[in-house]
Amino acid sequence: MQNRLDYSNIIGYSAHLLWLVLLLSTSCSTSPPSKPSAAKATIPTKEQVGALRLPIDIAPVKAPFVVPQFKKPSFPAYTLSITERGAQPGAKVTQTIQATIDAVSQHGGGTVLIPAGKWHTGRISLKSNVNLHLDAGAELYFSGEVEDYRPAVFTRNEGVEVMSLGACIYANGQENIAVTGSGRLIGPMQGGSVRKQVMEGDVVENIITASMPVAERVYEGYNGSPIFLPMFISPINCRNVYIEGISLENTAFWNIVPVYCDGVIIRGITVNSVGIPRGDGIDVESSRNVLIEYSTLSCGDDCFTIKAGRGEDGLRVNKPTENVVVRYCLAREGHGGITCGSETAGMIRNLYVHDCVFDNTGVGIRFKTRRPRGGGGENLTYERIRMNLKDAAFNWDMLGSKTYVGELAVRLPARSINPLTPHFANITAKDIIVENASQFVKVNAIPETPLTHVVLENLDINAKKLFTAADVQDFTVRNATIRTTDAQISLIDARNVLFDKVQFIVPGATLVADVSGEKSADIRFKDCTPNKPASWQQAAWNQ
């Protein structure tokens, strides 16, 4: 018995020694760090997201802020087809569609059915407790003539309140409304007066002074006078809005735009506005409690966009966009995959974007504002996103162009802070794969209100250029593998910038840093490979 015990002890000691050898060999290894957890996280591919993957039910929403329980709306069983009210294919059926909507709403609610066929209409207005449903094979063509969108209605154009054409499908002050089905919406035709009479030549805040009463800001297009383009679907001041399944093509302006709404669900929609200037996909404007899921956007401008009013008029209204979740969506062609701004006056806060794919998009995660726009954004979270891009993966453009804001687009000198000075803060992105991009990070912030508190972590990045940033504070890149064909990190007035556990795979395995600006300070490289840039001196910025 004693011999057996000794023999088992020897086996135990041997096993323990073997474990120690393995532990020491692992800890002393000179091999490069393991790939970041972004490569290990479950990040969807383009085949797993978008409109073609729409499930029947809405799964519970988990977000880093409080959101309501999003549910499909319910409508009475009453259904009325537009053909029952005399609609005929080929003829303009605006009045018939509107009369059917009005009748169903007055009946207590239900469904207005657009059956298969080609139907032509002007602006139609949704009413409470009505579901406008387009059957498979239904094609609803909207007029290209201004006269089919009169009289002017209250709306918002690029963040400024006006009285103009509104939207092809419009609603104001309604509750429990929906547009559903698998049919197609086709926007105003080219060559019509809608597109010919578009307001051009200047930004909207220079056309409409903030002191002008909204009731006097009327642009109806009589005698060839200019109009503000109609959006495609835009409920304003509405509660419980539901949009599902439809496809939208050839819009004149932004596609789906809830304004001043509370409780919006947009799911399973498809947008194609490629080649159309200002052809944004979905613009959430000064609205709250919004869920966007399983949608596919191909756009002539930004794809998924969050806005909150523009300049002085936006400050007057002072309504934020908040509590917005975007998940399982696919952005294809477009200027930005997900964009905040550039209208930010009422503040954008509590945005959660997760499990999305941006494929062949311009910028991936985009932030825009301008010195005279006001507000900004905060508490913005991005997780599990895959990007294949033409431009930068992360881009903060807070100065804009002289074309639109004049000398305010010039970085220096720093201006005095006033109510129109915007800021972005408290932004987190993690578990991100960038398959291709022109640049990893590009920041042009505002000297008087620097970009603050940004954390990018668990990243697997492939890009051409590496990292440029002006006017940032408290910016961290952590646990990342970054492969670029450029090795330069350029920083201007950057404070408390940390690269932590970052493997830089760059030409010559040598980082190059260009740091300038008297405010630059506390720039650190911790547990990185290479461990620091070449000729990294103990200057003021890294003490």
CB 208 within 8 A of CB 272: no
- Other C-beta atoms lying within 10 Å of the C-beta of residue 199: 18
Judge contact between 480 and 501, C-beta under 8 A.
yes
* 474 φ, ψ (degrees, to nearest 5): 60, 65
> Which tens digits make up the pLDDT trace of 249-293?
999 999 999 999 999 999 999 999 999 999 999 999 999 999 999
What is the H or E stretch that residue 499 is in?
strand 488-505
* Residue 16 reports pLDDT greater than 60: no
Q: pLDDT band at 404, cuts 50/70/90?
A: confident
Note the pTM of the prediction, 2 decimals. 0.92
In this structure, what DSSP letter does residue 238 have? -
Confidence of residue 27 (pLDDT cuts 50, 70, 90): very low
Confidence of residue 203 (pLDDT cuts 50, 70, 90): confident
Q: What is the pLDDT of residue 38?
A: 57
Report the Cα 96 to chain-centroid distance in Å: 36
Helices vs strands, H then E, count in the chain: 6, 34
- Contact at 8 Å (CB) between 363 and 335? yes
pLDDT of 420:
96
Residue 100 to residue 115: CA distance in whole angstroms = 13
Contact by Cβ (8 Å): 131, 110: yes
Tens of pLDDT, residue by residue over 99-142, are 999 999 999 999 999 999 999 999 999 999 999 999 999 999 99
How confident is the model over 316-331, as pLDDT tens digits? 999 999 999 999 999 9
Query: How confident is the model at residue 134, as a pLDDT?
Result: 98
387: tokens are: 């990007």
- Reported as a single tens digit per residue, the pLDDT across 407-452 is 999 999 999 999 999 999 999 999 999 999 999 999 999 999 999 9
Instruction: Check pLDDT > 70 for residue 24.
Output: no
Task: Provide the pLDDT for residue 200.
Answer: 86
CB of 495 closer than 8 Å to CB of 521 = yes
Q: Find all residues with CB under 8 Å of 410, minimum gap 6, and list them.
A: 399, 402
Are the C-beta atoms of 530 and 487 separated by less than 8 Å?
Answer: no
Rounded CA-CA distance 327/294 in Å is 7
Sign of the Cα pseudo-torsion (361, 365, 369, 375, in order): positive
Measured distance CA(374)–CA(417) in Å, rounded: 10
Q: What residues does each domain of the chain span?
A: 302-322+332-543
Res 29 pLDDT > 80 = no
Across 289-300, average pLDDT: 98
Give which of 294, 305, 218 is closest to 253, Cα–Cα: 305
pLDDT at 201: 78
64-95 pLDDT, tens digit per residue, is: 999 999 999 999 999 999 999 999 988 999 99
With 50 as the cut, is the pLDDT of residue 4 above it? no
Tokens at 419, concatenated: 């109510």
Q: What percent of the chain has pLDDT over 90?
A: 88
Q: For residue 39, what pLDDT is reported?
A: 53
Q: Exposed, middle or buried, 493 (CB in 10 Å: 0-12/13-18/19+)?
A: buried
Mean pLDDT across the chain: 92
pLDDT tens figures, 365-392: 999 999 999 999 999 999 999 999 999 9
Whole-angstrom distance, CA of residue 540 vs CA of residue 543? 6
* pLDDT at res. 6: 40
Q: Could you tell me how many residues make up the chain?
A: 543
Considering only the C-alpha atoms of the chain, give the largest distance between any 2 of them, rounded to a whole number of Å: 110
Identity (one letter) of the amino acid at 405? V
CA distances from 327 to 69, 266, 497 (A): 15, 11, 30
Cβ atoms of residues 308 and 348 within 8 Å: yes
List 392's β-bridge partners, or say none. Answer: 439
**Mean pLDDT score, 326-346:** 98
Query: Which residue type, as a one-letter code, is found at position 506?
Result: V
Q: What is the pLDDT of residues 499-513, one digit of tens each?
A: 999 999 999 999 999
